[in-house]
Structure 1
Amino acid sequence: MDIIELLKSAFLGLVEGITEWLPISSTGHMILVDEFIKLDVTQEFWNMFQVVIQLGAILAVCVLFFHQLNPFSPSKGPDGRRATWVLWGKIVVACLPAAIIGILFDDYMEEHFYNAYVVATALIVYGVAFIVIEAWRARRREARVMTEGFERSLRPAGAHFAAPAADEAPVPDEDGDFGAITSIDDLPWKTAFGIGCFQVLSLIPGTSRSGSTIIGGLLLGTTRSVAAEFTFFLAIPVMFGASALKLVKYVFVDGGGFGTTEIAIMVVGCAVAFAVSLLAIKWLMGFVRRHTFTVFGVYRIILGALVLLYFLVLS
């Protein structure tokens, strides 16, 4: 067994664990890393590996949110169990658009979109989108704060007024994490489905599954924290389903097999992705409560520009 191949797999697991949850495209980074650090495996195994390695990352979500996602938790009463089943229903509904499109066009997208030029373009386009959306949200929050301040100045001393409606009230967050939907439990079915429609965009590598769903959540009125949390939950069926599809295709269509080396590469990659994902998820949930996604937009633009420069000029 070649220790160098295991070290490569561990590095790929590190990349997957970090980039899967940050809105910077894990698949895009995996494709880019493959340009410089190539596993000594068949192309069919690589196509399967870069998807199935996500199982390690998704197990981190299952561990961190086990209680919240477990409808059979003994500490939950009837209302709590019912709310959990409703949440799972919204997750399934949100997964349908990407699942249908992904199954129908998997071979086509793998053949035409899995290259550095598409990745670079998607990185830049959605990087700009993050910056524009966060600027738009900042203007909305500023306008609302100014309006509410003006209204308060007109109130007679000692007068009491009803609080603004939930769909109008910003979250009182000094860093601007506001939205009409401030809790995952309050996420409407139509908003969940809308976020799922945005997830279809992530089928193009470089877009980022978490990036597309977070953008969808922000545009549809959620706070950054709700958008990020629902993104984590959506990943469970999406990534399990995508991994199962790739495994079936690898074994029954491509005729691939698993020797000792292939199994070791899979185990190491998934294990590292799991460990790193635990840290990345905790960090991101703390980050989004205090900061905007603008920094990720800037990162995407810079990385996309460097990739285009490399492949257009230097390669």
Structure 2
Amino acid sequence: MSFGNLLEAFLLGLLEGVTEFLPVSSTGHILLAGHFLGFESTGKTFEVLIQLGAILAIITVYFQRFWHVLVTLPSSKRSQNFVLGILIAFLPAAVIGALAHDFIKTVLFESPALICVMLILGGIVLLWVDTLTFKPRHTDAMALPPFLAFKIGLAQCLAMVPGVSRSGSTIVGGMLMGLSKPAAAEFSFFLALPTMGGAFAYDLFKSRHDLSMDDGLLIVVGFVTAFIAAVVVVRGLLAFVSRHGLTPFGWWRIAVGGIGLVALALVG
């Protein structure tokens, strides 16, 4: 393993941390960057496992709230409803992700042109959503009805296609179902914990016999970088979305997808 490999792991970890909770598809960005950098990880495991850094970022930023939920869970209906909603929203991704894991990793993850197209289409959706006028019925991400949480979980499953964006599908889905922008973004943060944690554990189990010490070092570098970057993004995202909406992210997606398609046409 060379210094160049470590630098690539650092850059991809930075990209993961910056984009994971933005509606721009962190997986799509990492896979495209890895493709053009020539970065190859064992079974595309690096791209999934460094998400642990982003998971820990959410726990760090929202630690006090999670701790409050934990200690009040036996007696508080609000805390019980929150945990139930997150678990219900997680179920669709857990089932579909386990059934389609091999197809996602060996087919969809290996299709950079598909990723570019989905980035562009998702960008157009974000631009369209920002033109709509919403009258939010739900402003508290911790008090959603269980069936509404389940529908947001179904929307999250769209992100199994790289380039769609897990946070994008849950934020847009939540807004279309009556959540305010901040509540939709916050629920997306909370739902990331079981979703990304489950993907991390499942992928680590599936690849446990294939990973080497070199893979481990690259993953650690990417993980630490992703953690630091994600903490910064999570702390500022809610305020940014409240002020500027989703339009900046829509144009970002279209620009990256368009540049990616041009680059693929030129260099493959």
Shorter-chain TM band: over 0.9
Equivalent of 2:78 in 49, 74, 83? 83
After TM superposition, give the deviation of residue 42 of structure 1 in Å: 5.0
Which amino acid counterpart does residue 113 of structure 1 have in structure 2?
L
Residue 147 of structure 2 aligns with an amino acid whose one-letter code is: K
2:185 touches 2:238 (CA, 8 Å); kept in 1? yes
Any conservation in 1 of the 2:46–2:219 contact (CA below 8 Å)? yes
**Is residue 267 from structure 1 mapped to residue 220 from structure 2 by the alignment?**
yes
Q: Which runs of 5+ in 1 are unaligned?
A: 141-169, 171-178
Compute the displacement of 1:246 (Å).
Answer: 0.8
How far the C-alpha of 1:82 sits from its partner, in A, is 3.6
Report the Cα offset of residue 250 of structure 1.
Answer: 0.7
RMSD of equivalent CA atoms: 1.8
Task: Kindly indicate whether the alpha-carbon contact (under 8 Å) linking 2:142 and 2:187 is maintained by their aligned counterparts in 1.
Answer: no
Report runs of 4+ in structure 1 exceeding 3 Å deviation.
76-79
Please state whether the residue corresponding to 2:29 is helix, strand or coil: helix
Larger Rg: 1
Q: d(CA) in 1 for partners of 2:204 and 2:267?
A: 36
1:77-122, Cα deviation, whole Å (9 max, x unpaired): 976x442232111001001111111111111122221221110111
CA deviation vs aligned residue, 1:219-254 (integer Å, no higher than 9, x gap): 001011001000001010111110111111112xxx
Per mean C-alpha deviation after superposition, the further-off stretch among 227-236 and 299-308 is 299-308
Q: Distance in 1 between matches of 2:96 and 2:237?
A: 29
Give the TM-score of the pair, scaled to structure 1.
0.80
Report what 1:53 is aligned to. 50
| Residue of structure 2 in register with 1:144 after alignment | none
TM-score (norm 2): 0.93
Post-superposition shift, 1:50? 0.3
Residue 233 in structure 1 maps to residue 190 in structure 2:
yes
1:298: how far off?
1.3
Does the 8 Å contact 2:90/2:194 carry over to 1? yes
Number of residue-to-residue matches in the alignment: 266
Q: Which residue of 2 aligns with 1:256?
A: 210
Q: CA deviation at 1:43?
A: 3.7
Output the amino acid matched with 2:176: L
5+ long unaligned stretches in structure 2: none
Aligned AA for 2:142?
D
What does residue 242 of structure 1 align with?
199
CA contact (8 A) 1:117 1:308 kept: yes
Q: Point out the structure with the larger helix share.
A: 2
Paired position in structure 1 for 2:106: 111
Partner of 2:64: 67
Following superposition, the deviation at residue 37 of structure 1 comes to: 2.1
Distance 2:112 2:222 in 1: 22
How high is the sequence identity, in percent, across the aligned residues? 37
Supply the distance in 1 between the matched residues of 2:120 and 2:162 (Cα, whole angstroms). Answer: 12
Give me the whole-angstrom Cα distance separating, in 2, the residues matched to 1:42 and 1:122.
23
Partner of 1:173: none
SS at 1:205's partner residue? coil
Residue 250 of structure 2 is matched in structure 1 by: 297
